[in-house]
Amino acid sequence: MLDMQILKKLSNIHVQIVEDDEVISYAIKQSLVKHCKRVEIASDGLQGFEMFEQNKPDVLIVDINLPHLNDLEMVASIREISPHIPVIIMTSHDSSDDMLKSIDQGVYIYLRKPIGIEELQTGLLMATKDIYNAHISLEHGYEYENQSKQLIGPNNIKITY
């Protein structure tokens, strides 16, 4: 099991799971909900895309072979809105073709089912490292906070983008 200090890094992460198997999606949600800011589940590709548009999560965990809109079509549509969204693909299929297509879509990590909870949590930590490493010092006393999307000036003046 990962150290709780490490898992605290997920506390500001909003995760969207897109998985058509209710048992798997529930298990994944239960393994993340106590560590993440928010965890949502969509049961198909179309619902996943609509939920993404509405809620703008920080990371997607997506099953391959989704109903209504397949995983890679959904990811391609989401990338038009948010090109840098980290995507973790889960699959029970061992297809080189699926893996190559996932790589072409810029998928962060490709996990084969059954997925261990620690493996998923580690993948999530790696995929979202830029979110929890989000405090950037700039010139002339300015700082940028990636999570809040705020530019903070020398006199603590905050500008939100």
pLDDT tier, 1 (very low <50, low <70, confident <90, very high otherwise): low
- Check whether 2 has a pLDDT greater than 90: no
Nearest CA-CA partner of 23 in 97, 110, 114, 99 = 114
Q: In the prediction, which pLDDT does 146 show? A: 64
**Regarding predicted confidence, which is higher, 100 or 85?**
85
Amino acid letter, 103:
I
Beta bridge partners of 159: 151
Q: In the prediction, which pLDDT does 37 show? A: 92
- Check whether 97 has a pLDDT greater than 80: no
- Check whether 135 has a pLDDT greater than 70: no
The alpha carbon of 154 is separated from its chain's Cα centroid by a whole number of angstroms, namely 32
Beta bridge partners of 64: none
Would you tell me how many other CB atoms lie within 10 Å of the CB of residue 150?
14
Determine what percent of the chain is predicted with pLDDT higher than 90: 48
pLDDT tier, 161 (very low <50, low <70, confident <90, very high otherwise): low
> Domain residue spans in the chain?
4-127, 135-161
Q: Which CATH code for domain 4-127?
A: 3.40.50.2300
The answer to whether the bond into 154 is cis (omega within 30° of 0) is no
Q: In the prediction, which pLDDT does 74 show? A: 94
- Check whether 137 has a pLDDT greater than 70: no
Q: How far is residue 74's CA from residue 43's CA, in Å, rounded to a whole number?
A: 13
pTM summary value: 0.79
